[in-house]
Structures are given as structure tokens and as C-alpha cells.
């Protein structure tokens, strides 16, 4: 969105995928990650033995029929990347720039009108454990030229959850955009 705000003449459309900055509520873990000492906690919490244990718990929950849990393979793969010191530092730095213990610091809601009449595609997972799908629904209400696609069963990364469908939705969207010259 920042690019469109700064260079509106260079962007004909926008695709938002599980985007931050579109609402108030969010995962408590993200808020906690902004606290001092969070880097040490993350380094300790997301080591190999812990990740293996969380993976086992996630598989067990799924096996016994619990479908609505955050320990999915996709989520654990993403979290596992935080074990790398440089990735962890980059993640925490970015996070602290947009989130505090009270929630999101930056909001794009009041800037959505800058998008004008561009066609906007909003894609979200209905089981996003980080940013609720209500954020997508609110943005869709505020953007009259938007199309909202919610992937049932998907978490924060619908593009990984169902890559072929994601690609199809993207291609349909791009084909509907009229070039501005």
C-alpha cells in the first residue's frame, strides 16, 4: 500500500493478502513480541526441540479431530524461521515499528480513500490466527471497487494453503484491470 500512496501513477491495481494495518484486533503473541526481552524469549522458545514438540502436539490435535488450532505445519514452518538470528532480528524490528502492546500503531484504514477507483483484490484465510478476517471484511466495505476472496480453512498464508487457487484468483483479477496510460 505504501508504494501506491507514494507513486499512485505507477500502480494500476493492488492485491492485499492477510495485510496488517486494516483493523484493531490482533494476535496477543504479536503484541507480546514487542516487549523488551522478546528476542531472547523467541530464541529460547523456538529452538529445534520445542518446534518438534509443537509439531507433534499439532499433529495429535488434528488426529483427534481438533481442527481449529494454530499448530498447523504452515504456521510452525513460519515460526521455525525465527530460530535464525538475523531473521528473528528483522522480524522483531519490523513488528515493533507497526505494533505495540496495545495493538497496531499504524493504520491504513484512514488512507484507503487514496486508492481511488482502483480495482483491489483482498485475499484472506478464514482461520488466520494472526490478523482476523474481520479486517479484510472491513477493508472490503470501505473499498467500493474491491473483491474479497476468503479461503475456507486457510490461516495467515492463503497463498501457501491453496497455491493453485491463489494463482487463479490473481490471474482473474489482473485480467480485469484496465491499463492506465
pLDDT of res. 59: 92
CA atoms within a 13 Å half-sphere pointing along the CA-CB vector of 139:
35
Examine the pLDDT at 150 and tell me if it is beyond 90.
Answer: yes
Of residues 73 and 56, more confidently modeled: 56
pLDDT of res. 86: 92
pLDDT in tens, 69-95: 778 887 788 888 888 889 989 989 988
pLDDT of res. 173: 97
pLDDT in tens, 101-128: 888 888 888 888 888 889 999 999 998 8
Full DSSP string of 113-180: GGGTT-EEEEEEETT-SSS-HHHHHHHHHH-TTEEEEEETT--S-HHHHTHHHHHHHHHHHHHHPPPP
148: left (phi over 0), alpha (psi -120 to 50) or beta: beta
Which grid coordinates belong to 35? 516487549
Nearest-angstrom CA–CA distance, 26 and 83: 23
The side-by-side arrangement of strands in the sheet containing 146-151 is 13-17, 119-125, 146-151
Examine the pLDDT at 7 and tell me if it is beyond 70.
Answer: yes
Please, which pLDDT band fits residue 181 given cuts at 50, 70 and 90? low
87: left (phi over 0), alpha (psi -120 to 50) or beta: alpha
Please, which pLDDT band fits residue 46 given cuts at 50, 70 and 90? confident
Nearest-angstrom CA–CA distance, 90 and 94: 6
Which grid coordinates belong to 150? 476468503
Fold of 2-23+107-176: Rossmann fold (3.40.50)
Which grid coordinates belong to 99? 505494533
Examine the pLDDT at 179 and tell me if it is beyond 80.
Answer: no
Nearest-angstrom CA–CA distance, 142 and 124: 16
- Where are the domains positioned within the chain? 2-23+107-176, 28-100
Which grid coordinates belong to 138? 472491513
Amino acid at each position: 500500500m505504501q508504494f501506491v500512496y507514494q507513486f499512485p501513477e505507477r500502480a494500476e491495481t493492488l492485491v492485499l493478502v492477510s495485510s496488517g494495518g486494516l483493523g484493531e484486533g490482533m494476535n496477543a503473541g504479536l503484541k507480546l513480541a514487542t516487549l523488551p526481552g522478546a528476542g531472547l524469549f523467541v530464541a529460547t522458545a523456538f529452538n529445534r526441540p520445542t518446534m518438534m514438540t509443537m509439531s507433534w502436539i499439532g499433529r495429535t490435535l488434528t488426529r483427534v479431530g481438533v481442527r481449529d488450532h494454530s499448530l498447523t505445519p504452515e504456521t510452525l514452518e513460519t515460526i521455525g524461521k525465527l530460530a535464525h538470528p538475523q531473521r528473528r532480528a528483522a522480524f522483531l524490528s519490523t513488528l515493533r515499528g507497526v505494533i505495540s502492546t496495545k495493538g497496531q500503531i499504524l493504520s491504513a484504514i484512514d488512507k484507503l480513500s487514496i486508492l481511488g477507483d482502483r480495482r483491489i483484490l483482498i485475499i484472506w484465510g478464514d482461520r488466520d490466527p494472526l490478523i482476523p478476517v474481520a479486517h479484510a471484511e472491513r477493508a472490503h466495505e470501505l473499498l467500493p471497487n474491491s473483491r474479497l476472496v476468503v479461503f475456507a480453512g486457510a490461516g495467515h498464508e492463503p497463498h501457501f494453503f491453496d497455491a493453485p487457487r491463489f494463482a487463479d484468483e490473481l490471474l482473474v483479477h489482473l485480467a480485469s484491470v484496465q491499463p492506465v496510460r
